[in-house]
Structure 1
Amino acid sequence: MQRYFVSDDQVKNDRLIIQGDDYHHIVRVMRMEKGSELICVLPSNKAVLCKIEQITNEHVIVRVVKWIDEQTELPIQIYIAHGLPKGDKLEFVIQKGTELGASSFIPFVAARSIVKWDAKKANKKLERWKKIAKEAAEQSHRGKIPDVHAPMTIHELIEFAKTVDYRVFAYEEEAKQGNHQTLAAVFQQMKRGHSLLAVFGPEGGFSDEEVELFKHHGFFSCSLGPRILRTETAPLYLLAVASYQFELQ
């Protein structure tokens, strides 16, 4: 069943008013009619089964049928920080990372980022990233849409790190040296409700200066197994491991 996220200003007692892109998707893409059912997710992360009561030229008005009890969020919060990669790799990470349960995505300008952040195109780019996260959250039946931040500098990222419980960065030298225990040890320490900031470099990895900066500020360097993963694969590996650790055991 189709799922749509709504804001507080769309809620009118036991009715919800849907407009904009979601209106277009309901009416033009899905071709729903009066009486069709869909799921709406409120800002409180609660889901409700709704039935379409009226379709106008600009709005779909739905009535709440019943509340739905579901648990689709990871028990821990994982923030994915990613050095700006080439092409559409970050879009891929946001889409698949949302499906796997990430709480937030934080692009940052790394020393070896080939892509340069264009401030003139910033709003349009950020809007696209947020749309990708929203659509992926709907598709995967998430209870919330992950936040997507505007790109930070590495020093802004370090400052943000002070707000989370645990901090790691994926470092290929750990894999080369066969040190594979750190990530498992961090997950074993974490409890439900804890937060983790996981940092991944761009295609060229981290500079020596970045590695020292992370370590100086309490980040643990970790491998992601014995194989060297692509920059867009690494965050998904970590999220999959977290799901196994906290949801499947």
Structure 2
Amino acid sequence: MHRFFVEPCQVGEKEIRIQGSDVNHIKNVLRMKPKEEILISSGESTEYTCYIEKIQEEEIVAHIMYAQKAGYELSSKLYLFQGLPKSDKMELIIQKAVELGVCEIIPVASKRAVVKLDKKKEEKKLARWQAISESAAKQSKRMYVPKIQGVKTFAQAAEYAKTLDVVLLPYELAKGMEQTKEIVGNIQKGQSVGIFIGPEGGFEEAEVELAVQKADARVITLGKRILRTETAGLAVLSVLMFALEE
């Protein structure tokens, strides 16, 4: 069954009004007809099972059949601070991170990041990245669309992360797998967790020190093998999803 997202203000007592790009998608791509059933989430914990009542020019009116509390989301909020990678790797990272339960992705322009985005390029990238997040959220039955933040410097990212309960920073020079297992094992369900992942060139030592000082980051190892930037974050998210799933 297809899933769509709306704002809470679009949800009425007995009907939901779908607007924006999803109208064209329902009408002209999926070619759905009245009486066909769909799932709708308004970004809260309630999932609505509906059938299409009216297909209009600028909105779809869906009749609410029933609502239920859906336990698809982790109780912990996971934040991925991703060093800007080359090529289109960010698209893959966003898609898979959303599937693995991330609540927000923060692109980080760290010192060794090769990619440099001016304001115009950033706006286009963010629109594309947010669309990928929405598509992945629909596919994986997320209750909301994870937000892709604007690009931050490393210092801005560290400042943003300091309010989180736990901040993890995998670092290729870190040692002590037992300590890493202990740190991850002590994360409690419901705690907010930030994960800092470097670009292809990794982090500079000064960046690691800044994250430790400003955000109380815990420097961890992911093992003896060096993981690509598009692999490292997904590896950490997979471990956290398994550990924190209700």
Q: Give per-residue Cα distances to partners, 1:151-205, cap 9 Å, x unaligned.
A: 111111111122100111110112xx4x213442223222221011110000000
My pick for the range that moved more, 215-224 or 191-200, is 215-224
For 1:89, give the aligned amino acid.
Answer: K
Instruction: Identify the residue that residue 227 of structure 1 maps to in structure 2.
Output: 225
Matched, 1:43 2:43: yes
Contact 1:182 1:221 in 2 (8 A): no
Query: By how many angstroms is 1:12 displaced?
Result: 3.3
My pick for the range that moved more, 234-243 or 121-130, is 121-130
Contact 2:167 2:193 in 1 (8 A): yes
User: Which of 200, 205, 208 is residue 202 of structure 2 equivalent to?
Assistant: 205
What SS class does the counterpart of residue 150 from structure 1 fall into?
A: coil
Instruction: Identify the residue that residue 143 of structure 1 maps to in structure 2.
Output: 143
**TM-score, normalization: structure 1?**
0.93
Instruction: Identify the residue that residue 184 of structure 1 maps to in structure 2.
Output: 181
CA distance in 2, matches of 1:131, 1:17: 20
Measured on the aligned residues, the alpha-carbon RMSD in Å equals 1.5
Number of residue pairs the alignment of both structures matches: 245
Q: Percent identity?
A: 37
Q: Give per-residue Cα distances to partners, 1:104-153, cap 9 Å, x unaligned.
A: 10011100000002112222221111111111001000112112100111
My pick for the range that moved more, 104-113 or 3-12, is 3-12
CA distance in 2, matches of 1:182, 1:90: 30
What SS class does the counterpart of residue 108 from structure 1 fall into?
A: strand
Instruction: Identify the residue that residue 59 of structure 1 maps to in structure 2.
Output: 59
Instruction: Identify the residue that residue 239 of structure 1 maps to in structure 2.
Output: 237
My pick for the range that moved more, 139-148 or 217-226, is 217-226
**TM-score, normalization: structure 2?**
0.94
Give unpaired runs (5+ residues) of structure 1. none
Query: By how many angstroms is 1:47 displaced?
Result: 0.8
What SS class does the counterpart of residue 54 from structure 1 fall into?
A: strand
Go from structure 1 to structure 2 and tell me whether the alpha carbon gap of 1:28 and 1:183 turns closer, same or farther (over 3 Å shift): farther
CA distance in 2, matches of 1:128, 1:244: 29
Poorly superposed stretches of 4+, deviation over 3 Å:
none
My pick for the range that moved more, 183-192 or 198-207, is 183-192
